Amino acid sequence: MEKKQVDKKEFKLKDPLGIIGGIFYLKRIVPLVLFFFLCNTSVAQFAEVKIDDAKQSFTTVTQGAVVRLKYVVTNVGTVPFLIKDYEVECSCTSAEYDDMPVLPGKSTTIVVKFDTKSAYERQDRVVYINCNTKDGFIKLRFKGNVKKK
């Protein structure tokens, strides 16, 4: 069997990008892929926020009242702050917030509603706002006393 010698000009025409090269190609591409992977994972993009009053008190209310608490959250980081959803301990508590990203240096207000219809005596509740911070959430807390009717 006779070996045919390949003309370099003909080979360049078949491989205009120069990517056919066997093991030598891998030596070039693996470090490049590894570099991009490390760049994307080592510099995580998390929002940093400051909450003006993360622990609030509504003092004493009569059973059946709906308490509304406002929490001002300021984005002090360099990436937009994104709220995904929220988690509460019971169905008597809910949160309202804007779905739009909060740009660096800007603020948003999260309104927590607490329906005291089924609650009484001392209350201490936590609302977890799932977002793109390093921890994956921010914690809003409120306390108060509900006087029975």
The CA-based angle 143-144-149, given to 5 degrees, is 150
CB contact set of 58 (below 8 Å; sequence gap of 6+):
67, 69, 114, 142, 143, 144
Average pLDDT, the chain: 84
pLDDT above 90: residue 106: yes
The tokens describing 92, both together, are: 């008597």
- Residue reference for tokens 């591409």: 29
- pLDDT confidence of residue 29: 63
SS3 of residue 95 by DSSP: strand
Categorize the per-residue pLDDT at 149 as very low, low, confident or very high, splitting at 50, 70 and 90. Answer: confident
pTM tops 0.85, yes or no = no
For 28-51, write each residue's pLDDT tens digit: 666 666 666 655 544 568 999 999
47 near 107, Cβ under 8 Å?
A: no
Q: Give mean pLDDT, residues 57-77.
A: 96
- Is residue 107 within a helix (H) or strand (E), and if so which, with residue range? strand 107-115
pLDDT at residue 72 in the model: 98
Q: How confident is the model at residue 137 (pLDDT cuts 50, 70, 90)?
A: very high
Architecture of domain 49-147: Sandwich (2.60)
Determine the residue type at 109. T
Q: What pLDDT score was predicted for residue 42?
A: 44
Higher pLDDT among residues 4 and 96, named by residue? 96
Would you list the domain boundaries of the chain?
Answer: 8-42, 49-147
